[in-house]
Amino acid sequence: MSTPGPAVASVAKPAAAVVGPGGELPIVSSDVSFVEIETLRSREFIPEAKEALSALVKEQAEGKLIRPVFNWAGRNSLFPLHWGLACCAIEFAAAFGARWDAERFGVVPRSSPRQCDLLIVNGTVTWKVAHKLIALYEQMPEPKWVIAMGNCATGGGPFRTAYSVVPGVDKLVPVDVYIAGCPPRPEALLDGILRLEALIRERGA
2 contributes a contact to other proteins by CB under 8 A: no
Choices 25-33, 37-45, 69-77, 128-136 (CB under 8 A): range interacting with other proteins: 128-136
User: Taking CB under 8 A as the rule, which mask of x and - marks residues 65-84 in contact with other proteins?
Assistant: ----------------xxxx
Please say which residue, 13 or 128, places its beta carbon nearer to other proteins.
Answer: 128
Decide if 79 contacts 107 (C-beta within 8 A): yes
Residue 20: name the closest of 76, 60, 75, 73 by CA.
60
What is the footprint of other proteins within residues 81-110 (CB under 8 A)?
Answer: 81-87, 89-91, 93-94, 96-99
CA–CA dist 84, 76 (Å, integer): 23
State the minimum distance, in angstroms, from the CB of residue 171 to other proteins. Answer: 4
CA–CA dist 3, 111 (Å, integer): 24
Please list, in sequence order, all residues whose beta carbon lies within 8 angstroms of the beta carbon of residue 127, skipping any fewer than 6 positions away.
164, 165, 166
Task: Tell me 162's DSSP state.
Answer: -
Residue 201: name the closest of 45, 33, 26 by CA.
45
**Size of the residue set binding other proteins (CB under 8 A):** 46
Residue 76: name the closest of 200, 203, 178 by CA.
200
User: Taking CB under 8 A as the rule, which mask of x and - marks residues 143-182 in contact with other proteins?
Assistant: -------------x-xxxxxxxxxx---xxx--------x
By CB under 8 A, name the binding residues for other proteins: 81-87, 89-91, 93-94, 96-99, 111, 113, 123-124, 126-130, 132, 134, 136, 138, 156, 158-167, 171-173, 182-183, 185
